[in-house]
Structure 1
Amino acid sequence: MKALVCDEPGRLSIVSRPEPVRGEKEVKVRIRHIGICGTDFHIFAGKHPFLEYPRVMGHELSGTVEEAPADSRLKAGDPVYIVPYLSCDTCKACRKGLSNACCNIQVLGVHKDGGMAEYLCVPEQNVVPTGKIPLADAAMIEFLAIGAHGVKRGMITSEDRVLVTGSGPIGMSAIIFAKARGAHVTVMDTREDRLKFAVDQLGADATIFADENAESEAERQTSGEWYDVVIDATGNAVPMQRGFGFLAHGARYVFLSVVRQDITFSDPEFHKREATLIASRNAQPDDFAEVVRQIEAGKVPTRALNTHRGRLEDGVSLFAEWSKPEAGVIKAILEV
């Protein structure tokens, strides 16, 4: 089978590999579409801290069942998407229902080879029917589920004024699901094109340009009451720390971002607000189900999000092109 391999930072190649052999409790999936994630671009750039090369990337995956166990709920030809978090089911986190935070988690395309290939074998529990969703759209379910999980963690309601900082794909997913809950959503970023997209395509209510005047503009827009929920999706420690200054009294601050640096903040200011700081990692089964419901309900502008497409065999050249900011990629998808 064909596979796209990141041999080392900055170098990709198309190789021929044996087709994987399905284990007893595994499903063999014929991969059809692969969403390209920021994680993939970080791997390509050599910036991922938990990776060994060479690696077959790809964790935003959809396809059709090639083979399944005899007693499976799945059958050959079924359209499916793949949940890329392989949990152990035995650690304390898993026993608490936190498979997304499994102590021994392996993420496809990061800790082990992923789906930038023609076939992939994964545990049956990680293979889910797409329902009425087209396979190309199903390849976007995983990144959308991350935003849905963060919105759930933030306990967002229609009574909340929400600030999403960072309007890349993960920030966009948070906007979509905060709006689905009826919240008033403001988006802050340094890119005017992304802010416009958030309003025109995602239904954001207001925007703030992230310059030195952002705090005064936020104070003006909220009449000095600030935000009930702040969701950071910048992936940068500086704006993550800055976000504490936008919290209302009693607010929740959700970190969708994860960085290697320490994060510091003023304890007196945080304490007097009785604010809550929340980490949000990966997604859980109900988050994936929520994404499916909202796509089927027409609440997710999948066509607008999927800005770029190409073929797996052209991935070597496309990856280098798509990784440039001027390419304007929101979500790129490789077709197999």
Structure 2
Amino acid sequence: MLSGTVVKPGEFALEPRPAPIEAPEGWVLIDIEAVGICGTDYHILEGKHPYLKYPRVIGHELSARVCEDGLGWRAGDLVVVNPYISCGECRACRRGKPNCCSNIEVLGVHRDGGLCARLAVPATNLYAADGLSPLQAAMVEFLAIGAHAVRRSGIQKGDRTLVTGAGPIGLGTALFARLAGADVHLLDLSPARLEQAHRLFGFSKTHKVGNAILAGDLVDGFDVIFDATGSAKAIESGFQLLAHGSSYVLVSVVKDDICFNDAEFHKRETRIIGSRNATAEDFQHVMAAIRDRKIDTDALCSQTIPLEDFAEHFTRLAQDRETLIKAIVTL
């Protein structure tokens, strides 16, 4: 089978590899239907991912069909794949937080992913995608990142909320914050991204970085801020926009140290919350929202590309992502 492999930074190839014919005990063979391409995949191509060894088959936003009956599944069942393979034994797992397992292995990062025809995964990492199309099912994982962040935030109806970074993860976070009843604002460097968020998803309260937004009714700051920028500078700038009694949710990950003024932090009694990956509850919440047509997946899907054509498009996509929301590879 052809496997989409980043051979080394800057080099991608469709390499022939043998398809698995048996799954380990408790695991299931699945045939991949569609693969969403995300920032992690672009970072791997660019050599910017800190937890990765090359070569690596990428792809962790997956929809698939079960190959054969067993372990509660029927052959042909359409499934969403949870790509976070947890150990089930560490303290986080025992406390019901497999998304931050201390021994986690993420498909397409720590082990080979699903940009290929067939894969073996734990049976418990599959969720029935009833009522979804294969393309919709491939978008569930990235939306679950935002849904998890919103759930972690403890957001309440009417909370004045700012999402910094209007890329795919930021948009997903904003969509689920709005579903939770929040008054959502978006902040980004790119006017094109902000215009797209308004045109496609109806977000009217958008702000370009560099323009004053603490004016008028925003003088008191935001009750909840979600950072989805991947920028230490942006995260540090966000502290001054927090209201008293607020929460700051860090969805993106940076390698740098983050600095803030402790007196201002304590004066506001701010909570800082890290949000990593997602859990089964978040995947189910996203699928329900898609089935109920509360999420416009057609607007989220920027383009589809057959696997055999992907090599000629991957570098171009990585270099021009300003208004790209989600490219999906089909098999």
Query: Are 1:130 and 1:138, in contact at CA under 8 Å, matched by a contact in 2?
Result: yes
Equivalent AA in structure 2 for residue 188 of structure 1: L
**Conserved 8 A contact 2:161-2:185:** yes
Tell me if structure 2 keeps the 8 A contact 1:143–1:173: yes
Tell me which residue corresponds to 2:170: 171
Matched letter for residue 199 of structure 1: H
Counterparts in 2 of 1:26-175, with a 5 A limit?
A: 26-69=27-70, 72-175=71-174
Q: CA deviation at 1:68?
A: 4.4
Residue 250 of structure 1 pairs with residue 245 of structure 2: yes
Q: TM-score, normalised by structure 1?
A: 0.96
* Post-superposition CA distance 1:202-227 (Å, at most 9, x none): 2324011101x3xx3233341x1110
The one-letter amino acid paired with 1:56 is V
Work out the CA distance in 1 between the residues paired with 2:295 and 2:169: 13
Deviations 1:77-125 (A, max 9, x none): 1111100000001100000000001010000000000000000000000
Structure 1 unaligned regions, length at least 5: none
Aligned pairs for 1:287-306 within 5 A:
287-306=282-301
Contact 1:150 1:254 in 2 (8 A): yes
Question: Using the alignment, how far apart are the partners of 1:204 and 1:97 within structure 2?
Answer: 34
What per-residue deviation string (whole Å, max 9, x for no partner) do you get for residues 142-196 of structure 1?
A: 0000000000111112120000000000000001000001110000001112112
Query: Do residues 219 (structure 1) and 219 (structure 2) align?
Result: no
Give, in whole Å, the separation in 1 of the partners of 2:295 and 2:42: 24
Once residues 124 and 185 of structure 1 are traced to their aligned partners in structure 2, the CA distance between those partners, rounded to angstroms, is 37
Cα deviation, residue 24, structure 1: 2.1
Count, aligned residues? 330
Contact 1:321 1:327 in 2 (8 A): no
Contact 1:145 1:288 in 2 (8 A): yes
| Further displaced range: 2-11 or 319-328 | 319-328
Once residues 167 and 124 of structure 1 are traced to their aligned partners in structure 2, the CA distance between those partners, rounded to angstroms, is 34
CA contact (8 A) 2:196 2:323 kept: no
Amino acid at match of 2:105: Q
Report the equivalent of 2:207. Answer: 208
Query: Partner residue of 1:22?
Result: 23
CA–CA distance in 1 between the matches of 2:59 and 2:216? 43
What is the deviation of 1:234?
0.3
Structural RMSD (CA): 1.1
Q: Where do 4+ consecutive residues of structure 1 move more than 3 Å?
A: none
Paired residue secondary structure (2:229):
coil
- Kept after mapping to 2: 8 A contact 1:28/1:66: yes
Mapped to 1, the partners of 2:321 and 2:131 lie a distance apart of 34
Report the equivalent of 2:279.
Answer: 284
Residue aligned with 1:179, SS: helix
Q: Is the 8 A contact 1:27 1:122 kept in 2?
A: yes
Amino acid at match of 1:27: V
- TM-score calculated relative to the size of structure 2: 0.97
Work out the CA distance in 2 between the residues paired with 1:60 and 1:68. Answer: 23
Q: Distance in 2 between matches of 1:272 and 1:326?
A: 39
Shift of 1:321: 1.4
